[in-house]
Structure 1
Amino acid sequence: MLDATPLTDGWTLRHDGAELPAAVPGCVHTDLLAAGVIPDPFLGPNETDVAWVGRREWTYETDLAPSPTGHEQTDLVFDGLDTAAEILLDDRPLGRVRNMHRSYRFHVTGLSGRLTVRFASAYTEAEAVRERLGDRPNAYPEPFQYLRKMACSFGWDWGPTLVTAGIWRPVRLERWSTARLARVRPLVTVADGGRGRVELHVDVERTRIEADLTLEARIGDVRAVAAVDGTSGTVRLDVPDVELWWPRGYGEQPLYDVELTLTHNGTPLDAWHRRIGFRTLELDRSTDAYGTGFTFVVNGTRLFARGVNWIPDDVFPSRITRERYRERLTQAAEAGVDLVRVWGGGIYESEDFYDACDELGLLVWQDFPFACAAYPEEQPLRGEVEAEARENVVRLMPHPSLVLWNGNNENLWGFRDWDWEGRLAGESWGEGYYLGLLPRVVAELDPTRPYTAGSPWSGSWDHHPNDPAHGTHHSWEVWNRRDYAEYRANVPRFVAEFGWQAPPAYATLRRALPGEEPAADSPGMLHHQKAEDGNGKLERGLARHFAVPEGKPGADFDRWHYLMQVNQARAVAAGIEHWRSHWPVCAGTIMWQLNDCWPVTSWAAIDGDGRPKPLYHELRRLYADRLLTLRAGDDGLVLAAVNQAAEVWRAGLRLRRMSVDGTVLGGATVQVTAFPRAVADIRVPRELEPVGAKEFLVADVDGLRAVHFPVPDREIPYPKPEFEVSVAPGTVTVTARTLVRDLLLQADRLAPGARADTGLVTLLPGEHVTIGVDGWTDPDATAARAALYCVEPTL
């Protein structure tokens, strides 16, 4: 039987003639950090101070002991090398590599001695390729498109420039005889009548070509056997009455164990085990009166996808543990998310990520790693792209959560709109990957899943790549140039990116900026703001709705910080409420972004220290099965009752037209009937529509609330907020005596590890809210009041 021995111990890293202990898996930065050679690059301006690391060559070494006898072949297997490296054994070259996204296998039978992995600087490798193939445009001044490496390692508009090197995934010795399983490609389908079929397409590597080999497969009590013909074979399993795997919120996520064994004369040689799920999948891209749709259909059910974009959860991916993946993805599921898009400037994530998505019912949209740049299609890149695509398509195929392969992020759009075409002057830029190579690989290896050439993409060059009426759309005019009210100007078929920035939690800032009193324009705050004119866009976006505090140390900064987080939640809510209310024309939103890779002002709902922003809690409302939203139309105010549940929603809806001083000016009860997976529009009676700056409308049903103010906050004569605070172990209760809008308990101001279970809440006079708080061991009403913020009158 194949024997695998991890090579995790005894590694060293050469640094300026010295040897440091090295962790494998790991990277140069984390080894230098552990040895005290560099400061934490996440703190203050330290990122700049460690920039030299990415410009150096680095060498990892360990001793490879002689392999025990009893096996015919020994392979040295690297699951991931970052990125350009030469591998030697006692100074004998084993090979050269140049792709972070691939695994590598070297024949070392009978060999032992000093194992060396010598990494070149990623800059050196990328710049050499650029010199050979010619310069091409990209969105950032770094050469990331000339190397098959995590692009955001070179920095992004939310990420630091920390260019890594190292053995970032496990390495091991594999010893085997006669034959081994080289590749197993499972095609999982469901036939009429509920019968599941699994076709295991198997490639084997042999040491003895004449040996008779057999494939034995099993799912529960269902077994099948097939012979290997040369170096390949196919074994089929038919499973009656399978339980279907469903996305979160639509059903359960049953998973089936598939076991495959390669045998010779009854002796096991190698084994493969995965968990699969049975489900049907379609991407409906048919044309209709509104344009070209983009609707996921799982098990015959059409979905409005409630999505988030995912970036690497750490700029040093080797630090992301199985538990961390589980925590972050559980946070997504608990916010109502049912789709996670793995963005193309990152990586193909580890099995731990996709396992968690399988178990949590999170659909996965997987980008191929291309983002925001013109990518050369010549060698050496073209061969690397095909090799990595083939490996990762097969690696990820078992996961039922995986529902889409996407060719790239924004490159087709960039070619058309970002002045690339003239600058390229006919040079290759990646189109051949997205419209040729990648769809061919997916069609050949994984015909059970759809492929789209890019995001955004209208389906063909017949339409603009980012045409909201066709396919996927990225909405970035809002934030970059326009107010978030402009989200309501159109109804895209599928919004794959949109978002609004806010600073991280206060405790995250204090940790990341030691010794600095934060202000909007303090040195540390500016260093941890990577977007072009990011603070300017924040200020202009806030000024459209609120009087902008100066953002200086002390109370002004606290108010600035709070309002920026409120504005982020309000912005995202404006988009999702509008687009969800236009289902089924709009069939999904994927908010930019769920997570951060370090402490930074960004679009994330969960900051770089894992603390939820108010936006995270707002997502729980926005992505719930049932949502109320009020929108102004040409014929007056409309209440949309969005029902994504499987049951009819029938209830009595209470409408109140109110004054900001708490007076009820009018009211009515309206019956709501929203059918399953449908939206019911209810015309608000004219006499209940608020008029002027002093009035607003409140809609309440089944514990849900929608509030509509007809003017921006800066024009509203809010009363000075008055409320009472009481505390008990694990709770803070606030009782309003006036209108209290967007009340927020910033729990991390009570204790750095404290978390609140509630975000922004609007209370009418006499109402109360009880907020659960974990991690606060010494409840105190005065401290709780100091950590409470709400919208206040404009001075």
Structure 2
Amino acid sequence: MDLNGRWTCRAVAGPVPEELTPALQEGLDAVVPGVVHLDLLAQGLIVDPFEGSNEGLLTWIGRTDWEYARTFHWHALPHHEIHELVAEGLDTVATLRLNGHELGSTANHHRTYRFDVTHLLREGENELSIRFRSALQHAEEREAVLGVRPHSNPHPFNSIRKPAYSFGWDWGPEIVTAGIWQPIRIESRSTARLSGVRPLTSWSPDEGALLDLHVEVADATEPHTVRVEVEDLASASVTAASDARLSLPVKGAEPWWPRTHGGQRLYETTVSLISPQGDEVDTWKGRVGFRSVSVDTSPDEVGNRFEISVNGRPIHVRGANWIPASSYLPQVDRAALRSALTDAVDANMNLIRVWGGGIYESHDFYDLCDELGLLVWQDFTLACAAYSEDPELWDEISAEATEAISRLSPHPSLALWNGGNENIWGWADWGWRAALDGASWGEGYYTELFPRLVADLAPGTPYVEGSPFSFDRYLHPNSDINGTMHIWDVWNSRDYSTYRDHRPRFVSEFGFQGPPAMSTLESVVRDEPRSPHGPQMLTHQKADEGNLKLERGLGEHLPLPERYEDWHWATQLNQARAIRFGIEHFRSLSPFNTGSIVWQLNDCWPVVSWSAVDGAGVRKPLWFALRDAFSDRLATLQPRGDAPALVLHNETDDDWSCNILVRRLTTDGRQLDCVSLDVVVAPRAASVTALPEALVTPDDPTRELVVADVATGERAVWYFVEDPGLALAGDAWDATVRDDDGSQLVTVTARSLVKDLTLLVDQAHPAATVDRALLTLLPGESASFRVSSPHRIEPSSLTSQPVLRTANDLVAPRATASGRLGL
């Protein structure tokens, strides 16, 4: 019996504003699944927390107790003797009552709960209520009992099992929600049920596909038959009264591969529970993919490796960190997830890391990753804090981890369980040990609880203690030559050129900030005059001294802008350049470096952040830089000794046999030197080719560059000076616009060097999109951009600022606003 839909909601305690007290005491219409903020917004009782500086006006919501209630009609069904209330997600500290009787209490956002209501249901009308205690108040009270432990951000999120990001983060607002955030229902039956189904899979060239099925049966008074069918390829049965296990070879099944390594073949699988009388009393249906995953953390002559392999083949990881897709989780549906994960695929990624300050995502998320071939690195939900190991938290974390491992184990995309985010690093390096004074801090979770649960419930999925981690208790956890590394000195204190000071085995976090699209920013920030340091802007900049770091991060790369529009473009461009610089450096270290995971793919609201796609779903210039830097075949010029060398990284299954023309040119196109190279790069390999000294030694560094053009279309460019010292013309291009098959084609032709040509089309129409960005054109070259929009855009808007931008117009402003147009 579905109990979703219309409920009522009222405030029952807390700092409710006086003007809202009558309405909230009486109660308002509410929607389940949902959270109280959405109900208040729907009734027009609060302003939008995302807009302006409203966030701070609404923190009272998180300090208020709320009650959700509804009535429903129930009639006894013949032959149904067991009735359970099933709540898939309660946010967070809740007490449930049915017809005045208390069912129980919850204190974990990450868990599903079942309550026996067999003797409490009554014929006809029933009353169900759920009272939610203020999560903030609860966290503060429990911290006082469990003991104060270090944590990032102001609130003690480490004292409650609620997603950490909801208490505010350096990219997220403080929106402390409450409500029934997942479906709720009554299940009635008279039979046993499948209480757990874990179809674990493996694949190897020698043994092929194997299904290792683990089933848990509840309420069986006598043995039942468990039957499994994998399409028409294989089937088997076993008899059990409680737990059952069977191994089933699936002959002819193809392996599941991450994208760019093979296909994503998924097999419909049915597990049936059959009574002794031959009746099918319960069924589980899902899809499985056959794969084996391993992680090599063994030592070599330099340090400890970190290499993920699927089906015995090493995977060079090109990934992004994932945060929850919204501050309001019930709003995130399959379509939104598909759009966001398609952003990852289109940017040539093959892995998503689900970060530990968020949630265990929905089945839709992992289903889509299965289909798209995106590996999932899954954190347990502990992040940037020390955690008590007292039974109160230990038991909750154990229960949620057990449920999460069991629920997610069927997904072939799930490649790795990670103990937590930066907690081991915090203990080792952030002064925690003195503050803790011997108190527990979470080590037992990372070294005892989680590895034991993964080994018991999903033995085919690797587990690692934390990120970053060096895989030796005697090594600093954030060492670049050991295991996984987070690089945050770049952005926090150092210029992005110092990425080259690191030689990491694997980078699981690194990032650089930039603002969202202008249309996204101005939908919520309306400071007058517009300024990077206006009060509304700073509400949407959560990082400590974030906008000062943005300006400092321009360094010698770009001049400090004077106009607001130029600040926006310069900082977006600098973000894109910084991350591309880092990724190309990391990939140039292959095979020593085995991958990188950028922070971060997405946002949960409109904000200045590290994301590649902003809170409105607009792809920032960074996204286009990621698409290029993560391409299957990368050509880059990297310093080797005192001169640049040509590095090629081939992430395909075929030899990369190519001719490469390397030229030293002036910014106005005159060729000074040239060499032709024939290079063959083996599959999944890299090569480094030294270049002649004359080719890479400039006569005038301010007017010269080196360009390597690969016959297969890739290009690498090397500059001898930063943009403010480079001879860039402000009137270096001509542009035309024509209609083409329902879109508009903008063609730009360079008359001298044009750097990082980009169309910020959202500034012409918020829903407009463009197919490419950050192009560098040599004199005489042309490039076309396809612009799609719900409405035709005035051509002159597409060929002038603020839409058409280049690095040139930051260094050498154009003499005219629109350039030379050919419309």
TM-score interval (norm. to shorter): over 0.9
Task: State the 1:580 CA deviation.
Answer: 0.6
SS at match of 2:269: strand
- Give me the whole-angstrom Cα distance separating, in 1, the residues matched to 2:589 and 2:204: 33
SS at match of 1:388: helix
Q: Establish whether residue 32 from structure 1 lines up as the match of residue 45 from structure 2.
A: no
Who is 1:69 aligned against?
A: 77
Q: Establish whether residue 707 from structure 1 lines up as the match of residue 717 from structure 2.
A: yes
Task: State the 1:490 CA deviation.
Answer: 2.4
| Aligned with 1:770 (options 773, 784, 805) | 784
Task: State the 1:521 CA deviation.
Answer: 1.2
* AA in 1 matched with 2:727: P
- Give me the whole-angstrom Cα distance separating, in 2, the residues matched to 1:90 and 1:101: 26
| Aligned with 1:629 (options 614, 628, 636) | 636
Task: State the 1:160 CA deviation.
Answer: 0.3
Residues 57-66 or 440-449, more deviating: 57-66
Deviation string, structure 1 residues 71-105 (Cα, Å, up to 9, x no partner): 11111101110100000012210000000000000
* AA in 1 matched with 2:261: Y
Task: State the 1:19 CA deviation.
Answer: 1.6
- Give me the whole-angstrom Cα distance separating, in 1, the residues matched to 2:73 and 2:118: 12
- Give me the whole-angstrom Cα distance separating, in 1, the residues matched to 2:737 and 2:233: 58
Aligned length, in residue pairs: 784
Counting only pairs closer than 5 Å after superposition, residues 94-493 of structure 1 correspond to structure 2 as: 94-110=103-119, 111-112=121-122, 113-206=126-219, 209=221, 211-264=222-275, 265-493=277-505
Who is 1:87 aligned against?
A: 96
Do the aligned partners of 1:483 and 1:544 also contact (CA within 8 Å) in 2?
A: no
- Give me the whole-angstrom Cα distance separating, in 1, the residues matched to 2:418 and 2:804: 43
Do the aligned partners of 1:290 and 1:585 also contact (CA within 8 Å) in 2?
A: no
Residues 454-463 or 233-242, more deviating: 233-242
SS at match of 1:291: coil
Task: State the 1:259 CA deviation.
Answer: 0.2
- Give me the whole-angstrom Cα distance separating, in 1, the residues matched to 2:233 and 2:135: 49
Residues 504-513 or 6-15, more deviating: 6-15
| Aligned with 1:642 (options 638, 641, 649) | 649
Counting only pairs closer than 5 Å after superposition, residues 601-620 of structure 1 correspond to structure 2 as: 601-620=608-627
Do the aligned partners of 1:750 and 1:776 also contact (CA within 8 Å) in 2?
A: no
Do the aligned partners of 2:6 and 2:32 also contact (CA within 8 Å) in 1?
A: no
Do the aligned partners of 1:190 and 1:279 also contact (CA within 8 Å) in 2?
A: yes
Task: State the 1:225 CA deviation.
Answer: 4.4
- Give me the whole-angstrom Cα distance separating, in 1, the residues matched to 2:618 and 2:558: 25
- Give me the whole-angstrom Cα distance separating, in 2, the residues matched to 1:44 and 1:690: 52
Do the aligned partners of 1:721 and 1:740 also contact (CA within 8 Å) in 2?
A: no
Task: State the 1:25 CA deviation.
Answer: 0.8
- Give me the whole-angstrom Cα distance separating, in 1, the residues matched to 2:585 and 2:63: 47
Q: Establish whether residue 13 from structure 1 lines up as the match of residue 9 from structure 2.
A: yes
- Give me the whole-angstrom Cα distance separating, in 2, the residues matched to 1:623 and 1:192: 29
| Aligned with 2:774 (options 746, 749, 760) | 760
SS at match of 2:491: helix
Quick one: structure 1 residues 67 and 463, their matched pair in 2 at CA, closer, same or farther if it must change by over 3 Å? farther
Task: State the 1:294 CA deviation.
Answer: 0.6
Gaps of 5+ in 1: 551-555
- Give me the whole-angstrom Cα distance separating, in 2, the residues matched to 1:513 and 1:559: 17
- Give me the whole-angstrom Cα distance separating, in 2, the residues matched to 1:133 and 1:193: 52
Q: Establish whether residue 791 from structure 1 lines up as the match of residue 807 from structure 2.
A: yes
> What RMSD over aligned residues (CA atoms) do the two structures have, in Å?
1.4
Do the aligned partners of 1:189 and 1:196 also contact (CA within 8 Å) in 2?
A: yes
Deviation string, structure 1 residues 36-72 (Cα, Å, up to 9, x no partner): 1111111111111111100000001111322432211
Residues 664-673 or 409-418, more deviating: 664-673
- Give me the whole-angstrom Cα distance separating, in 1, the residues matched to 2:75 and 2:307: 54
Counting only pairs closer than 5 Å after superposition, residues 532-547 of structure 1 correspond to structure 2 as: 532-547=544-559
* AA in 2 matched with 1:641: L
Q: Establish whether residue 732 from structure 1 lines up as the match of residue 749 from structure 2.
A: no
- Give me the whole-angstrom Cα distance separating, in 2, the residues matched to 1:699 and 1:105: 63
Task: State the 1:471 CA deviation.
Answer: 0.6
Task: State the 1:661 CA deviation.
Answer: 2.8
Deviation string, structure 1 residues 496-541 (Cα, Å, up to 9, x no partner): 0001000000110111124755321122211100000111111111
Deviation string, structure 1 residues 275-331 (Cα, Å, up to 9, x no partner): 110012111112112211111111221111001000001011111011000010011
SS at match of 2:450: helix
Who is 1:661 aligned against?
A: 668
Do the aligned partners of 1:194 and 1:242 also contact (CA within 8 Å) in 2?
A: no
Task: State the 1:234 CA deviation.
Answer: 1.9
SS at match of 1:106: strand
* AA in 1 matched with 2:680: T
Who is 2:820 aligned against?
A: none
- Give me the whole-angstrom Cα distance separating, in 2, the residues matched to 1:294 and 1:223: 36
> What TM-score comes out, normalization by structure 2 length?
0.94
Q: Establish whether residue 577 from structure 1 lines up as the match of residue 590 from structure 2.
A: no
- Give me the whole-angstrom Cα distance separating, in 1, the residues matched to 2:444 and 2:101: 38
Amino-acid identity (%): 46
- Give me the whole-angstrom Cα distance separating, in 1, the residues matched to 2:361 and 2:425: 25
Do the aligned partners of 1:366 and 1:406 also contact (CA within 8 Å) in 2?
A: yes
Do the aligned partners of 2:84 and 2:116 also contact (CA within 8 Å) in 1?
A: yes
Who is 1:553 aligned against?
A: none
SS at match of 1:355: helix
* AA in 2 matched with 1:385: I
Task: State the 1:194 CA deviation.
Answer: 4.7
Do the aligned partners of 1:246 and 1:298 also contact (CA within 8 Å) in 2?
A: yes
- Give me the whole-angstrom Cα distance separating, in 1, the residues matched to 2:696 and 2:69: 73
- Give me the whole-angstrom Cα distance separating, in 2, the residues matched to 1:764 and 1:344: 45
Gaps of 5+ in 2: 12-23, 814-823
Do the aligned partners of 2:527 and 2:535 also contact (CA within 8 Å) in 1?
A: no
Task: State the 1:241 CA deviation.
Answer: 2.2
- Give me the whole-angstrom Cα distance separating, in 2, the residues matched to 1:194 and 1:566: 50
> What TM-score comes out, normalization by structure 1 length?
0.97
SS at match of 2:280: strand
* AA in 2 matched with 1:508: T
